[in-house]
Chains A and B, each alone.
Chain A
Amino acid sequence: MYGKMVKINLSNGQIRREQIPPEWIEGFIGASGLAARLLWDRLDVNRSPLDPGSPLLFATGPLTGTAGPTTGRFTICGRSPQTGWWGESNIGGFVGPELRFAGIDFLWIEGVSDRPVYLWIYNDQIEIRSAEHLWGKADTYQTQEIIRREVGIPQVKVACIGLAGENLVPFAGILSDHGRLAARTGMGALMGSKKLKAVAVRGTQRLVMERDEEYRKLRVASNKRLLEQNMTAVLRSTGTSGGAEYLQYLGDMPQKYWTAARFEGADKISGATMAETILRGTTACQGCVISCGREVEIEQGSFPTNGVVKGPEYETICSFGSQLMVDDLAAITALGDLCDRLGMDTITAGNVIALAYLLYGQGKLTTKDSGGLVLRWGDPEPCFSLLRQMATKEGLGNLLAQGSKALATAYGDEDLAVQVNGLDVAMHDPRAFSGQALAYVTSPRGACHNQSDYFNVGLGGTVDEIGIGFTDRFSPVGKGEQVARHQHWRTVCNSLTTCYFAVVSPGEILELLNAAMGWDWDMTTMLKAGERAWNMKRLYNLKLGWKPENERLPRLLLQPLLDGGQEGNIPDLSTMLEEYYRYSGWDRMSGYPFLWKLEELGLKDLVEQKYGDAVL
């Protein structure tokens, strides 16, 4: 039965097991949707995200580990140290499935240990072990290897933090396997604040679905269909950065810290070029037929890899490539690898460094500030020093580690930072797809493409079955409703947890979910659960002080780029927001869902019970 939770208090070593109420599961499905409901009860606006009482939640979904289409994923949730708002970070690999094989669907960690520790979970045995020999000494790959040797079981899976998490860098991530990172919103810092270096897990139980044979047939058929998709073939051949040339052509790929329309080097750093030059193999998350992970090797030149390392994903080739005007795939590979070892989000790290380059180019930031580093567009060399300094909070890195907003503010121009609600904008320029601007500003975790990848709809990834069709990519018309619907659908995906790269229809997902859980839901019920979870995250942020005024784009994204694929477009946010609020049933003034919407979603009592009528 799905919903088994283990709660560990690292302050006193107490370990408890609970069953999540079935009505909560039916309300919010699982993973980050259900996590929002669970963490709501613990939300205290007066408590800092890094307070020992702030929980860290490893949350699997009801399909995690079931070998369904792209179901190897899980989510890590908590209040974000980076943004102060709702935090969640999705991660692939094998740790989520392994947790479920050990009989754990949710792992709730609170308190703080008096010394560095790691958790060793072997089926129903849970042990808190010393990590003093790892803390400050072992990078994320070394940590996995050392723990694997210590527990003596080669199949053990490890999720761990690096130096960045130990040093509470607000955009530190949690890494598992070969470069699978829960990168965004700083869950690694939350883990580091608890003095928790790693979670190691091995489970041997078989997951049994409620309608097991039906599920088996459905997942086999669904994986077969997925394997036949063109999109799967592209990802398998060229990885997530395979579309770089296309995205550059459309103006989606950001360049020179969001200030340039063209980057002639895009074809030198794309997944297609990677496939033709340095690719040595591919990797997949548990049970995934796509296999988008890259394994690369560079034997010669300035950045040899000394063996096979993870190849950079799309976001990383932008972060350390186009954003810095670097067209050296070897350098980008090395910087991505360094970020993984330090346990840092490449999107934020790359954005912050690119902002430093911009400030340097403007003559505001000088070599005096940078300790002699010359931050010239196209030169990747200084990034190696800056990344290490950020992870250890030394030199200019100490300021950079506070994020782009802090960096811009330090140089007297806070709005120069391309971030929304504290999270640096993902590598999809909203000027290329207006709807993505709306998705960014309304996302509960800031400017993120993993609450809604609406830009994909503009690329042709429509979901016609649930009324998300193709529209003009620049026009604001109809985007309010379309983006809201897309967010509800993607919240279902995030609650399961499935990967956005999988072209799997809502109808297939509904059948899989019903078979897994023994339900007989229709499409409306499933999408309503997505909407409910979306509103739950909204309520979480509203309680923390979120206002409609927060929903805006930074200055640089409101300046047109005329000579590229964006064709000078500026997203008409106010038109889209009006329609979005109307469709969502939210009050434009307060930002709260209307009472009728809360009643419709079954959330009214929950809100009243905790906060009374005042907030409504």
Chain B
Amino acid sequence: MFRFPSDEWIKAMMQDLNQSQSYKEAAKNWEGDFYFIIEPGGMLTETVTLYMDLWHGECRNAFKVEKLDGLKPAFQLKGPVSVWKKVMTKQLDPMQAMMTGQLKLTGNMAMVMKNVRAAKELVESCTRIPTEFPL
């Protein structure tokens, strides 16, 4: 079981993505690294930022960010841990979460809108990771 959000959890997801043929296919045109910013809720008392470098169907790097300076990722997706949990457990569609502003996205919208299937595959990957939520 991996605790969310943690360095171990994001590394487990990196491993899962790189083993997923369906993600590789769906995200073959994706270019851009991410900050996933998880805001407090439940037992999570402070904001946690996870980093993922996603490039043409591959995850090149992933870790929990300890200091926010230095990296300038192309995308940021930010929201409360309760919303993240809904998305990661498929109670909320990731595109719906994004379009309705429950998760706040910054970055190249054209790139995001062209890669709906990649977003779905990211969620599929999350569901495969045994996860303990702080809620």
Contact = CB atoms under 8 A, between A and B. Distances in A.
B26 to A, nearest CB: 11
Interface string A192-227: 000000000000000000000000000000000000
Interface in A221-256: 229-231, 233-234, 236-238, 242-246, 249
Interface residues of B, number: 22
B114 interface: yes
B101 A229 contact: yes
A414 interface: no
Contacts of B116: 245-246, 249
Interface stretch (A121-129, A272-280, A541-549, A587-595): A272-280
Given A245-B116, A459-B96, A460-B93, A230 B104 contact: yes
Given A245-B116, A249-B116, A249-B117, A272 B111 contact: yes
B113 A246 contact: yes
Contacts of B109: 233-234, 236-238, 242, 272
A234 B104 CA distance: 12
B108 A270 contact: no
B117 A461 contact: no
Interface in B96-135: 96-101, 103-106, 108-117
A237 B114 contact: no
A93 interface: no
Contacts of A246: 95, 113, 116
B110 A238 contact: yes
Contacts of A503: 100-101
Interface string A256-283: 0000000000010011110110000000
A155 B30 CA distance: 44
Contacts of A233: 105-106, 109
Nearest to A503: B101
B110 A237 contact: yes
B86 to A, nearest CB: 11
A455 B115 CA distance: 21
Contact of B101 (A230, A236, A244): A230
A167 interface: no
Nearest to B105: A230
A9 interface: no
B93 to A, nearest CB: 7
A460 B110 contact: no
Given A233-B105, A249-B117, A275 B98 contact: no
Given A246-B95, A460-B95, A273 B114 contact: yes
Nearest to B111: A272
Given A237-B108, A246-B95, A460-B93, A230 B100 contact: yes
Residue of B112, B114, B116 most packed against chain A (CB within 10 A): B114
Interface in A434-487: 459-462, 470
Contacts of B104: 230
B77 to A, nearest CB: 10
B97 A267 contact: no
A458 to B, nearest CB: 9
A462 B105 contact: no
Contacts of B110: 237-238, 242, 271-273, 275-276
Contacts of A275: 110
A231 B99 CA distance: 5
Nearest to A241: B113
Contacts of B95: 246, 459-460
Contacts of B101: 229-231, 503
Contacts of B112: 234
A234 B100 contact: no
Interface centre among B97, B104, B110, B111 (most CB of A within 10 A): B110
A245 B113 contact: yes
B100 A245 contact: no
A295 B113 CA distance: 19
Interface in A470-522: 470, 503
A461 B113 contact: no
A276 B112 CA distance: 12
A237 B111 CA distance: 10
Nearest to B107: A233
A271 B113 contact: yes
Nearest to B106: A233
Nearest to A234: B109
B79 to A, nearest CB: 11
A227 to B, nearest CB: 12
Contacts of B113: 234, 237-238, 242-246, 270-272
A233 B108 CA distance: 9
A359 to B, nearest CB: 33
A461 B103 CA distance: 14
Contacts of A230: 98-101, 103-105
Contacts of B115: 245
A461 B100 contact: yes
A503 B116 CA distance: 21
Contact of B114 (A229, A231, A245, A470): A245
A270 B56 CA distance: 20
Nearest to A462: B100
A238 B99 CA distance: 13
Contacts of A276: 110
A242 B111 CA distance: 10
Contacts of B99: 230-231, 234, 243, 459-461
Interface in A544-568: none
Nearest to B92: A460
Interface string B61-91: 0000000000000000000000000000000
Nearest to A456: B99
Interface in A361-384: none
Contacts of A459: 95-96, 99
B108 A460 contact: no
Contacts of A470: 96
A238 B115 CA distance: 13
Interface of A: 229-231, 233-234, 236-238, 242-246, 249, 267, 270-273, 275-276, 459-462, 470, 503
5 contacts: A230-B98, A233-B105, A234-B99, A276-B110, A503-B101
Given A245-B115, A459-B96, A461-B99, 13 more contacts: A229-B101, A230-B101, A233-B109, A237-B108, A242-B109, A245-B113, A272-B109, A272-B111, A273-B110, A273-B114, A459-B95, A461-B100, A503-B101
5 A-B pairs closest in CB distance: A460-B96, A237-B109, A272-B110, A275-B110, A272-B114
